[in-house]
Structure 1
């Protein structure tokens, strides 16, 4: 050992002595994908280690998910009642294109807010939100990005709805088009802003109380999403609807103002290091998801013309499926970020697996899938009987209706959870961050599957002559 080496030993010993004994002896190696942010004094009151999803049990996962799940479900029940109520408003009857907008605007919570929840949950679990300055920069940048996406996608949703009406019904009305565009812009913008703040708050609070935000952030984000979007859509449509052209000049002004502020939001999101890449790469999922949701809206418009009662169940079956699969997708993404480099799959991992492996294996994703599937039947039973009680007093749904409805919901969630694994691992293998891509596709697919299975359920009940069915 030379003199130079002797000089270096005290410094090494000093570095070790500065650490607590437990940290010096037992601290694990950092994860590959973790970039440790500087810890702030405020963050020291919160947890200093991220929850490890792979170490969670069926019970711990279920305990964290069950309360947000039922809160979100009751919010969707309320949204269903509200949709059932407003479908008789004059503006909904005179401008039927609004119904086509409903799944698309409700789906924005999956395209934007749930994706935001997934991104922030991953960052929180990796420890990147423990520094106050970085945390608020991350939140502000993401809210700006979501606002930009909400305006663009909201406008596109209205345009696509109009195009679908022109193609299918050979009808076009300029006043209806302007009304749809202005209502969609207001609804998507305000709802995304409110839900974005709620989502960020839930992630921060979950982190402080040692709760895995992957388990609670997406359901909480969805709990107010449907009713907020429906209320905004119906109120703005009613206020802007002008059969006598008294206020026909207002919708064009609203559209123009929103178009003018888009460059401002783009500029801010581009300057933020946390959203710069998503600003360029995050559009394809939300746009394609919007198209799928709009297609679901067209199917819903056709079904509502035949089955009146379908309106109250549509937000519930779509929302529950979207909530559960978003939890799975968010957890899968966090696991990949914690232990692997983007583009590199875990050892022995495969993109295409059998449904048995997806639900019955001992892997962490199968454990979560089983917990989520266990919630489908009891959750929907509670929601169905809640709907029937408040809709018709003490009337009970028929056994045939309950069985058919639960079967449709079970099939929908099973498909979604299986597709969630394949999509998440596929995007990761293609160097695409699943936090930005997976949930929009899954929630849009959930909307389409939900409307289709619900429509098949009502058609089946109609054919067998279920006396409860309202047509």
Structure 2
């Protein structure tokens, strides 16, 4: 690799370097060394290190630990996606959303941007953990502060982009509406505040989670991205609804403008912190392209979803879980490959792919049991529905795993850090692919009479029953 590679800088200066120069090489194999302990005693700096027991009998993750570690986080992510979907449905009928309908447009844009930021952080920090960079105190603190500051810069800028974009789309979709400067500032301020506070909460949580994983010898690549995805959506939804509700009462005043100016002024403050941090400095002006492109691609998926959500039953309920779970499995794979590339170790591609694909089965079964038990979506739960949805989920997961592998290797060969580029493109791609597959299968089920998924049939049945 050349020096142009866009990644967290691994070299550290004389005041920020562990005494033992072989420590990094050893940590690339995920082990602490007795030589480190000797040098620690000689330099009287044991308080600066987190020391982990060496385990010579440690088994490879792809053989034993991948499914054990990743499966609980995936089940939690599915539950989180279902809760986020129900929360979104409730918020769409709340007073704050009914008064400002452009918030409906803001939601998917903001969730997409924020989700990619937090998953990128999880991938970057997981790589740092597995390379052993978090074992040395000064480096650990520098990486945590730098990444959290970077996340604030990215979230504030993304929040501003999401707010202005949703307002502009509102002008296009509703040309006759009385949109004003105050409404644009209101939406932008709400977006920036919720994005900033959500990133602070999620960033601290993810850093703590990965440090705990490192301490207890758990590979964070297996759990970090799904946890960031599921928890991030719920936290962002709650914060956006709360912020929008507070600011809406002051929409016609200068209050929203003051909030916007305060949040905007924080960008150079956090930017300066990032600029002075050698570990994340290069990321300040890079990695924006995949975020913006992913937002555009996901917007296309949103337009497609909006076109069919009122035509077929269950689209709004099933789509987030279908694409969310496939994206989580793909992000785990991409994050693991990226770590192996940084550490110059080998990944058992076939074993990991088959393991992740197999893990999709129990997680989707749990999801289908949940929606059947609670009669969600008013769907016709018969054999053809369950069989078709399960086949789609397996196809989406397989496609996402393949895309994740190809993209990660391709970006690495081109000199870009996959931790900062792959996940936005990967999740945006599966958004479009998953939505197309689901709508196509629902159309086939309805046209063949296997299961009537049309909303008209639902309305007719409701009329007959009443």
TM-score range, shorter chain: 0.7 to 0.9
Q: Partner of 2:79 in structure 1?
A: 74
Q: Which residue of 2 aligns with 1:252?
A: 257
Corresponding position of 1:222: 229
Judged with a 3 Å threshold, the aligned counterparts in structure 2 of structure 1 residues 411 and 164 are, in CA distance, closer, same or farther, namely farther
Query: Structure 1, residues 396-436: CA drift from partner, whole Å, max 9, x if none?
Result: 72323222322332222222111111111111111111111
Match of 1:374 in 2: 358
Match for 2:337 among 332, 335, 357?
Answer: 332
Q: Displacement of 1:391 after TM fit? A: 4.7
Partner of 2:17: none
2:12 maps to none
User: What's the offset of the Cα at 1:295?
Assistant: 2.9
Whole-Å separation in 1 of the counterparts to 2:375 and 2:253: 37
**Equivalence for 1:46:** 52
Q: Deviations over 1:239-291 (max 9, x none)?
A: 3335xx76554333322221111111111111111110111222222222222
Aligned CA distance change for structure 1 residues 79 and 30 (closer, same or farther; 3 Å): closer
Greater Cα offset, 300-309 or 215-224: 300-309
Q: CA separation of 1:376/1:169 partners in 2, compared to 1, >3 Å: closer, same or farther?
A: farther
Cα gap change, 1:246/1:263 in structure 2, threshold over 3 Å: closer, same or farther?
Answer: closer
Deviation at 1:56, TM superposition (A): 2.8
Contact 1:50 1:127 in 2 (8 A): no
What is the match of residue 6 of structure 1?
none
Larger displacement relative to structure 2 (126-135 or 162-171): 162-171
1:52-451 matched pairs, under 5 angstroms: 55-170=60-175, 173-174=179-180, 175-242=182-249, 247-307=252-312, 309-339=314-344, 364-391=348-375, 397-451=381-435
Measured in 2, the distance between the counterparts of 1:433 and 1:132 equals 24
Is this contact kept in 2: 1:296–1:448, CA < 8 A? yes
Q: What do the CA deviations read for 1:193-232 (whole angstroms, capped 9, x no partner)?
A: 1111111011100111111111111122223112112222
Q: Distance in 1 between matches of 2:133 and 2:75?
A: 30
Residue 65 and residue 31 in structure 1: after superposition, are their counterparts in 2 closer, same or farther (change >3 A)? closer
Tell me how large the CA RMSD over aligned residues is.
3.4
SS of alignment partner, residue 284 of structure 2: helix
Contact 2:123 2:221 (8 Å CA) reproduced: yes
Between 260-269 and 393-402, the greater mean CA deviation after superposition: 393-402
Aligned residues of 2:120 and 2:420 also touching (Cα < 8 A): yes
Q: CA offsets per residue over residues 290-335 of structure 1, 9 Å max, x none?
A: 2222333333333444457433333322321221111101100000
Q: Note closer, same or farther for the CA distance 1:215–1:295 as it changes in structure 2 (3 Å cut).
A: same
Deviation at 1:337, TM superposition (A): 0.5
164-173 or 207-216, which moves further after superposition? 164-173
Output the CA distance in 1 between the equivalents of 2:174 and 2:57.
Answer: 53
Is the Cα–Cα contact under 8 Å of residues 100 and 301 in structure 1 kept in the other structure?
no
Q: Which runs of 5+ in 1 are unaligned?
A: 1-18, 341-345, 347-362
TM-score (norm 2): 0.80
Distance change in 2, residues 1:159/1:448 (3 Å): farther
Call closer, same or farther: CA 1:308–1:31 in 2, change over 3 Å: closer
Kept after mapping to 2: 8 A contact 1:99/1:300: no
Q: Tell me how far apart the structure 1 counterparts of residues 319 and 242 of structure 2 sit (CA, whole Å).
A: 20
Give per-residue Cα distances to partners, 1:86-129, cap 9 Å, x unaligned: 22224434544323333332223542111111111111111111
Relative distance call for 1:50 and 1:451 in structure 2 (3 A) is: farther
Q: CA–CA distance in 2 between the matches of 1:51 and 1:454?
A: 45
* CA distance in 1: counterparts of 2:185 and 2:55, whole angstroms: 51
Find the aligned partners of 1:266 and 1:152 in 2 and give their Cα distance.
11
Q: TM-score, normalised by structure 1?
A: 0.79
Q: CA deviation at 1:454?
A: 3.5
CA distance in 2, matches of 1:264, 1:28: 35
Aligned-residue offset at 1:177:
3.0
How many residues end up aligned between the 2 structures? Answer: 422
User: Distance in 2 between the 1:286 and 1:31 partners?
Assistant: 29
- Cα distance in 1 for residues equivalent to 2:159 and 2:56: 35
- Relative to structure 1, the CA distance from residue 365 to residue 52 in structure 2 (aligned partners, 3 Å threshold; closer, same or farther) is farther
Tell me the CA shift for residue 49 of structure 1. 8.0
